[in-house]
Amino acid sequence: MSLLSVDRLATHYSGTSGTVRAVDGVSLEIAEGETVALVGESGCGKSTLGKSLVRLVDPSSGSVTFKGRDVTAMSGRELQSVRRSIQMIFQDPFASLNPRQTIRTILTAPLAVHGIGERKRREAIAAEMVAHVGLPPDALDRYPHEFSGGQRQRIGIARALILQPKLVICDEPVSALDLSIQAQILNLLVEMKTELSLSYLFISHDLSVVRYFADRVLVMYLGRIVESASTSELWNNAKHPYTQALLAAVPDPSRRKQAAPITGDLPSPHNPPAGCHFHTRCPLATDICRAEDPALRQFGSGHAAACHHAQ
């Protein structure tokens, strides 16, 4: 049974300039112990999707089922208990920790809120967690500003894992870090996954990191999933033209001084093109693409793509 199952989730924002369909009918599944990556460029809705799963933003329609229970309808005590099982790691290490709290407070507060142990036990758990993520024990008494970006991200990871969740939504956790620190954090995440039997939803715009880190990849464009495949399948056999363009755009030493052609700008999420959202930039676009929105078609071995012309 899959750990998380999302069915036609939609999250709309209604602002002054009309409704933005940030997430426009997304369905996906995450199995236990699996790392699923969600890739896309700005405005594709991947961050909103992540937040909708944790109920930081309330979805407008569709359902999210976690371990068989519908999370979208929950509230109060029930939602609080589910919150222990789905946690989130944020992108900006400089904004994700309360600057006026010590690390001890940051880590013990979630335990206190969920009534785990009493003070001594909570402090022991916090100390253990701090050691687990590779920080020295005196870190507990310090404030966030005394740490570097990579270390703050470790604290963020400790905080997310201290309740021992089953699913962790990682929203661009390494994008704001230096290259050499990225490797440290990615290794830490892999280790934690094995130790605590976690599943990850890894949101990122960096395809190279995704290639290393994910088991399966979902590609999003303007609120919709346009392709879904295992990591190796996606890289070797991408079917959707947008995925192909994305892969071609990744800087490649072998293609000296020559960018792969993809024209045009990302359409605004306020005003997505009719039919297939990608048709304005797609080399294969025909009349049917302008008129009809393609559904995800299965191509065998878990590979699906939403394109009229894919084969």
Partner 1 sequence: MAKLLEVSDFSVRFAAAEPVKGVSFSANPGEMLAIVGESGSGKSLTALGLMGLLPRQARVGGQILFGGRDLVGLSERELRRVRGRDIAMIFQEPMTSLNPVLTIGDQIIEVLRIHENLTRRQARERAIALLDLVSIPEAARRIDEYPHQLSGGMRQRVMIAIAVACNPKLLIADEATTALDVTIQAQVLQLLDNLRAQLNMAVILITHDLGIVAQWADRVVVMYAGRKIEEGLPDQVFETPYHPYTHGLLSASPRLKADYHYRDGPLSEIPGSIVSAAGEKGCSFRPRCPAARPACSLTVPQLIALPAGRQVACPYVAAIAEVAHVAPVG
Partner 2 sequence: MNSRKLGTLAGQAIDFAPQAKIEASQPASETPKQPRWTHIHAPDVRASVSGTAWRGMRRELKVFLANYNALFGTAILLLVALSALFAPLLYPGDPLEMVARPFLWPGQNPAYPLGTDSMGRDVLAGIVHGARISLTVGLAATALGLTAGIAIGAVAGYFGGLVDDVLVKFIEIFQTIPSFVLLVVLVAIAQPTTATVTVAIAIVSWPTVARLTRAEFRAIREKDYVLAARSLGFGHARIIFREILPNALPPLIVTSSVMVASAILMESALSFMGLGDPNRVSWGSMIGAGRDVIRTAWYLTALPGLAIVFTVLALNLIGDGLNDALNPRFSEDR
Residues near partner 1, by CB under 8 A: 35, 41-42, 148-151, 178-184, 186-187, 190-191, 205, 207-209, 211-213, 231-232, 245-246, 248-253, 255-260, 262-263, 265-266, 268
Dihedral sign from CA coordinates of 115, 117, 120, 123: negative
The span from the CA of 216 to the CA of 19, in Å, is 31
Binding flags for partner 2, 40-79, as an x/- string (CB under 8 A) = -----------x--xxx----------------------x
Q: Other C-beta atoms within 10 Å of 64: how many?
A: 23
Q: Which does 96 bind (CB under 5 to 8 A by kind): partner 1, partner 2, none?
A: partner 2
C-beta of 75 vs 258, nearer to partner 1: 258
Under the phi-then-psi rule, with left for phi > 0, alpha for psi from -120 to 50, and beta for the rest, what region is 218? beta
Which stretch in 33-41, 58-66, 87-95, 218-226 sits in contact with partner 2 by CB under 8 A? 87-95
Residues 119-158 that bind partner 2 (CB under 8 A): 131, 134-136, 138-139, 142-143, 145-148, 150-151, 156
Q: Which burial class, exposed, middle or buried, applies to 262 when counting CB atoms under 10 A from its CB (0-12, 13-18, 19+)?
A: middle
Q: How many CA atoms lie within 13 A of 39 on its CB side?
A: 29
Coil, strand, or helix at residue 309?
coil
C-beta of 78 vs 252, nearer to partner 2: 78
Residues 249-278 that bind partner 2 (CB under 8 A): none
Give me the amino acid identity at 21: R
The distance of closest approach from Cβ of residue 252 to partner 1 in the complex, given in angstroms and rounded to an integer, is 6
C-beta of 83 vs 216, nearer to partner 1: 216
302 touches partner 2 by CB under 8 A: no
The distance of closest approach from Cβ of residue 187 to partner 2 in the complex, given in angstroms and rounded to an integer, is 6
The residue with tokens 């299965």 is 298
Provide CB contacts within 8 A for 117, sequence distance 6+: 111, 125
174 touches partner 2 by CB under 8 A: no
Residue 156 and residue 168 in contact, taking contact as beta carbons nearer than 8 Å: no
C-beta of 27 vs 184, nearer to partner 1: 184
Q: Which does 211 bind (CB under 5 to 8 A by kind): partner 2, partner 1, none?
A: partner 1
Coil, strand, or helix at residue 86?
strand
